[in-house]
């Protein structure tokens, strides 16, 4: 079974440029998460999808960040324009979102963003 | 509201020694508790989880954790450390509902001395 796939693994851009990250979750996983992980810290939730609906985007900085999950499968996270403080690892995770498996997340390897 | 506190951002043990990584939680509802491991340049991987069944939970790679409600703790242990255990470990808490947020601690980096 294929795991969660993210791309690109690494991205270096100059500030004020746009950037996009793509995530393909495990087949059959209805719940998809985007997390932000700063160096030396735990993941922080940006947005959670149930199928194609964003059910929790309270921590997403909507002035510059946007996300979509068309057709309820893969997802894209975009930053426009990027700022120096956006340098971090962006993690995508998926889960079945049901019952005792609700908190059992499967993570991708992450997309490391460096903003110069 | 829920939160997790991991005591010690860095723990170093000798190979073969006991590993103890501490996690205390705060939750207004009965919690689900998790330990995740992150190897360098990789995503997080579930080690074990507590979901209100047995209080002593066994996970992969010889790790286990004990849920102690009276102490609001969920410490992670392994009797004998191996070099391959060197990684970052995250404790996490959520509620029972599938709508519950999963809150991660700040992580503990485990180093193993030869």
**Tokens 């791309």, residue?**
A7
pLDDT, position A102: 66
Is the pLDDT confidence value at A25 over 80?
yes
pLDDT, position B22: 98
A51: part of which helix (H) or strand (E)? none
Question: Strands B44-50, B64-68: parallel, antiparallel or unpaired by DSSP?
Answer: unpaired
Average pLDDT over residues A25-39: 93
pLDDT, position A27: 92
Contact B25, B3 (CB under 8 A): yes
Give the distance from residue A58's alpha carbon to the nearest chain B alpha carbon, in angstroms.
Answer: 11
pLDDT, position B97: 66
d(CA B31, CA A102): 12
How many residues belong to chain B? Answer: 114
pLDDT, position A1: 67
How many cross-chain Cβ pairs, A to B, lie less than 8 Å apart? 61
d(CA A12, CA A87): 9
Contact check, Cβ <8 Å, A105/B97? no
Confidence tier at A53 by pLDDT (50, 70, 90): very high
Average pLDDT over residues B27-45: 88
In this predicted model, what pLDDT tens digit does every residue of A69-109 receive, in sequence order? 988 899 999 999 999 999 999 999 999 866 666 678 999 99
Which is it for the CA torsion B17, B18, B22, B23, positive or negative?
positive
d(CA B105, CA B71): 17
- Which residue in chain B has the smallest CA separation from A104? B46
Contact A49, A32 (CB under 8 A): yes
Contact check, Cβ <8 Å, A104/B49? yes
> If you ran DSSP here, which 8-state letter would residue B107 be given?
-
**Tokens 């996970």, residue?**
B59
Confidence tier at A111 by pLDDT (50, 70, 90): very high
Contact B62, B78 (CB under 8 A): yes
d(CA A52, CA A7): 20
Confidence tier at A45 by pLDDT (50, 70, 90): very high
- In this structure, what are the phi and psi dihedrals at residue A84, rounded to the nearest 5 degrees? -55, -40
What is the phi-psi region of residue A71: left when phi exceeds 0, alpha when psi lies from -120 to 50, beta otherwise?
left
In this predicted model, what pLDDT tens digit does every residue of B71-111 receive, in sequence order? 999 999 999 999 999 999 999 998 766 667 789 999 999 99
Q: Report the residue of B43, B53, B95 to disrupt the A interface, i.e. the one with the largest count of A CBs within 10 Å.
A: B43
| Chain B CB contacts of A110 below 8 Å | 42-43
| Chain B CB contacts of A31 below 8 Å | 98
């Amino acid at each position: 079974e294929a795991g969660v796939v993210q791309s690109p693994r690494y991205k270096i851009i100059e500030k004020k440029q746009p950037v996009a990250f793509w995530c393909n979750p495990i087949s059959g996983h209805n719940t998809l998460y985007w997390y932000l992980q700063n160096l030396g810290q735990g993941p922080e939730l940006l947005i959670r999808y149930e199928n194609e609906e964003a059910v929790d985007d309270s921590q997403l900085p909507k002035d510059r960040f946007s996300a979509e999950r068309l057709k309820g499968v893969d997802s894209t996270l975009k930053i426009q324009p990027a700022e120096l403080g956006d340098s971090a690892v962006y993690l995508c995770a998926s889960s079945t979102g049901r019952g005792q498996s609700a908190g059992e997340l499967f993570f991708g390897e992450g997309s490391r963003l460096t903003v110069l | 509201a829920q939160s997790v506190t991991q005591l010690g951002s860095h723990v170093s043990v000798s190979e073969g020694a006991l590993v103890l990584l501490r996690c205390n939680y705060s939750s207004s509802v009965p919690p689900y508790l998790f330990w995740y491991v992150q190897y360098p340049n990789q995503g997080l991987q579930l080690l074990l989880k507590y979901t209100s069944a047995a209080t002593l939970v066994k996970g992969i790679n010889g790790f286990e954790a004990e849920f102690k409600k009276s102490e609001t703790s969920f410490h992670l242990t392994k009797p004998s450390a191996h070099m391959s255990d060197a990684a970052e470990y995250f404790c996490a808490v959520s509620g029972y509902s599938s709508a519950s947020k999963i809150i991660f601690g700040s992580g503990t980096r485990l180093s193993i001395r030869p």
